[in-house]
Amino acid sequence: MSLAIANLLRAAPDDEGAIDRFLRDHEFPLVEGTSATFVFRGNVDAVHLRHWVFGLGSQQPFHRLDNSDFWYLTLELPQRSRVEYKLEIQQGGHSRWIRDPLNDQIAHDPFGANSVCAGEGYERPEWTNFDPDARAGTLEEVVLPRTPFGGPRRLTVYLPARFRVSRRYRLLVVHDGGDYLRYSSLKEVLDNLIDRLEVAPLIVAMTHPEDRLVEYADDPRHADFIVNTVVPYMEEHYPLYEAVSARCLMGASFGGVASLSTAWRYPGAFGRLLLQSGSFAFTDIGENRRGPLFDRVVSFVNGFREAPGRLAEKVFVSCGTYESLIYENRSMVPLLQATGMDIRYEEARDGHNWENWRDRLRTALSWLFPGPLWMVYE
Amino acid sequence: MYTESPKPATGVLLGPQRLAVTVDAELDALQVDGPVAMITCGWQEREEEDRELHDALGKRAVNLNLHARGDAVFLDDRELRDAHRAKQDRLRQLQVLYRGRVEHAVAAVFDLQAARGPADLIASEITAAIEAIRLVDRQHLARVTLLNRDYEDEMSPSSRPVVAGHREEIAEILSGCGAVAIAGGNVATLLNRLRLFGLDELLVGRTILAWSAGAMALTDRIVLFHDSPPQGRGNAEILDAGLGLFPSLVALPHARRRLLLDDRRRVSLFARRFAPARCVTLDERSRLLCDGEKYRAGSVTRALCDGGDVVALETWSL
């Protein structure tokens, strides 16, 4: 099959309207089989694709069509992949990075947002979308007045649909609750998975950090906050099962470090851990090359890797294969398994972003807190 | 109680009622007079949250409160409670072992369905492999039946004073009702409560409207199913015998959501595995009427066929 861009290249020299029609008739990036064609239009000096696929050269030059203002680049894109990228535009000796003006698909990560290109076969899971037929849970805001950080902290609490104080519930504590709600559709995901009986009804405590890169990097105040402030507050105000098997701590990126670090400092406080793309940077030898923000992380992860312990009963770990952290996460799995904990590990052809973490929630939560799917027919 | 299949009931099996209520129209069609006994124990601790259903039943419903009664029985009779829990633990352990056997047996069928070679040879091997699953199913059902019978022989729940008292009250309520409506929910809980209070006998001869798990519990085999669960292989499994009031059926509520009805190989396996029972989909607005002698299906009610199709149902005799 001839790619559309190849047809354009053949036609364009003799057809002035070919580029306009090409842009009008397609959506971009143009995905055809395992090929993705990126385009840019503008009178600039050069265009590069800057992508976040670990293992590939991160800078790919666009080609200019003759002397026109039309730039293009075709890359191989495996099926069901999601690749984050920006365009680097060079003009008049200056360079700027922009999101693709022809693509409104965006992936969010803890540091911002990028354009995203989805390969053939990737579809946003339908259970992540709002379902008007699903019974909806509720969100309520509470403030914890005294915390180890010295000031008050806000919690967002999710109560499942048909919440009753006379029932008992499992507790899920979520780092970066606001981002999970905003970018990972956490409320819709919880509503849908609980309504579909795939996940047991949960109460969810979502935390909101003030300085996550400091607090999440093995900060003892943070672990203290989670175990000795958040959990006791939830126990006092909500009907929870007492067993640690009914407690889960989760987080992504630095939030994954915070989850593991908290469990490490308080082993047995949580029976379940959900670690998504944890920033588990370590050094076998030499210095940390990820910058000073990672110094405490590396110190903690090195210590954990030296003497891994049994922190919980079940741990779900996920990571995108295009992330720079894929090596760190993969290598964490056998260490965790060796402790005797029940470990599940899942990879996807995706990056370090909230949509990747959203798409993993079904398998993660249904494994950690399975619902009564097989027994209940309402 | 745990009894042999009784005479077929008169009534109707329906699709889920939460988003598409049809039970009110069915009550009218069946020309039911008087109060309607309502069984919502499949909702477990939510049993009493029955206002919407009460309204749908024309505000003439009387909840039999089987879940609350069961709790009261087990609070009063600790010996029965402990024996019941021990039996349930054994049943759960047995189910896990059976699930493992089913997994291997089903995998053999899927392998054969994908095999290359002479079609006639493959077809006969598939038939034999399906027969192997059916044998596993029969053995499991026999073991479950035996465990239940042992429990009943040993504990004789129906003759224990607290159970007998509740059963008398239930019988009294039923005697004044024109029909019984059985809602869905947790099918194991529902079945256990129905058995504990002898509803298999008390329901005989009554007009019944049942949906979702309620429909499943009234057939002669309860089949748990989901083709694409987030965990596990998605192989259907037999839980237990049902009350058998709607015989020769496998009731499949929420079939569109739970089953891959476009997957002809899975549909074919399902139909052949449970034949000669008909595997009937009970989605929203589905209905399957039984007059005690024959079944008559509504227009959106379908059956899974040996060849892998999902087709509308003709009227058929029991």
- pLDDT per residue rounded down to tens, chain A (378 residues): 589 999 998 887 777 788 999 999 999 999 999 999 999 999 999 999 998 877 777 788 999 998 889 999 999 889 999 998 999 999 999 999 999 999 999 988 777 889 999 999 999 999 999 999 999 999 999 999 999 999 999 999 999 999 999 899 999 999 999 999 999 999 999 999 999 999 999 999 999 999 999 999 999 999 999 999 999 999 999 999 999 999 999 999 999 999 999 999 999 999 999 999 999 999 988 888 888 889 999 999 999 999 999 999 999 999 999 998 999 999 999 999 999 999 999 999 999 999 999 999 999 999 999 999 999 999
Amino acid identity at B56: A
CA distance A42 to A18: 16
Length of chain B: 318
CA distances from A87 to A49, A91, A204 (A): 5, 13, 38
* Residue listed under structure tokens 């990097």: A217
Cis peptide before B247 (omega within 30 of 0): no
Chain A residues within an 8 Å CB radius of B253: 377
Mean pLDDT score, B96-120: 97
Do B222 and B239 form a contact (C-beta atoms < 8 A)? Answer: yes
Interchain CB distance below 8 Å, A374 and B229: yes
The CA-to-CA distance between both ends of chain B, in Å, stands at 24
Chain A residues within an 8 Å CB radius of B45: 164, 166-167
CA distance B311 to B301: 8
The pTM is what?
0.92
Residues near B195 by Cβ (< 8 Å), separated by ≥ 6?
Answer: B1, B2, B148, B243
Interchain CB distance below 8 Å, A378 and B185: yes
Interchain CB distance below 8 Å, B224 and A366: no
Nearest to B224 among A162, A362, A374 (CB): A374
Pairing of strands B61-63, B36-39: parallel
Counting one residue from chain A and one from chain B, the pairs whose CB atoms sit within 8 A come to 51
Backbone Cα Rg of chain B: 20
Ranges of each domain in chain A: 4-118, 126-368
Question: B315 to chain A, minimum CA–CA distance in Å?
Answer: 26
The CA-to-CA distance between both ends of chain A, in Å, stands at 49
Question: B124 to chain A, minimum CA–CA distance in Å?
Answer: 32
Do B211 and B253 form a contact (C-beta atoms < 8 A)? Answer: yes
Question: Minimum mean pLDDT among A280-289, B52-61, B100-109, B114-123: which range?
Answer: A280-289
Nearest to B18 among A373, A374, A378 (CB): A378
SS3 B48: coil
Nearest to A373 among B188, B226, B253 (CB): B226
Domain A4-118 has CATH 2.60.40.10: yes
CA distance A229 to A236: 11
Q: Which CATH architecture fits B10-75+156-317?
A: 3-Layer(aba) Sandwich (3.40)
Chain A residues within an 8 Å CB radius of B186: 372, 375-376
The two three-digit tokens of residue B309, written as one number: 């199709």
Q: Nearest CA to A313 among A357, A263, A365, A242?
A: A263
* Residue listed under structure tokens 């292989």: B233
Do A294 and A283 form a contact (C-beta atoms < 8 A)? Answer: no
* B16 part of contact set with chain A, CB < 8 Å: yes
Question: B214 to chain A, minimum CA–CA distance in Å?
Answer: 9
Ranges of each domain in chain B: 10-75+156-317, 89-154
CATH assignment, A126-368? 3.40.50.1820
Interchain CB distance below 8 Å, A363 and B230: yes
CA distance A347 to A318: 6
DSSP state of B223: E
CA distance A376 to B184: 8
Q: Nearest CA to A136 among A163, A156, A157?
A: A163
CA distance B194 to A258: 49
User: Tell me, what's the pLDDT at B47?
Assistant: 97
Query: Which residues from A are below 8 Å from B when comparing CB atoms?
Result: 133, 162, 164, 166-167, 196, 198, 362-363, 366-367, 370, 372-378
**For residue B8, pLDDT beyond 80:** no
Nearest to B187 among A196, A198, A377 (CB): A377
Interchain CB distance below 8 Å, A367 and B230: yes
Question: B134 to chain A, minimum CA–CA distance in Å?
Answer: 20
Which H or E run includes A225? helix A220-225
Instruction: Identify any residues that bridge with A206 across adjacent strands, giving them in sequence order.
Output: A156, A174
CA distance B231 to B207: 39
Q: How confident is the model at residue B314 (pLDDT cuts 50, 70, 90)?
A: confident
Q: How confident is the model at residue B6 (pLDDT cuts 50, 70, 90)?
A: low
* B1 part of contact set with chain A, CB < 8 Å: no
CA distance B156 to A161: 39
Instruction: Return the residue of B nearest to A166 by Cα.
Output: B45
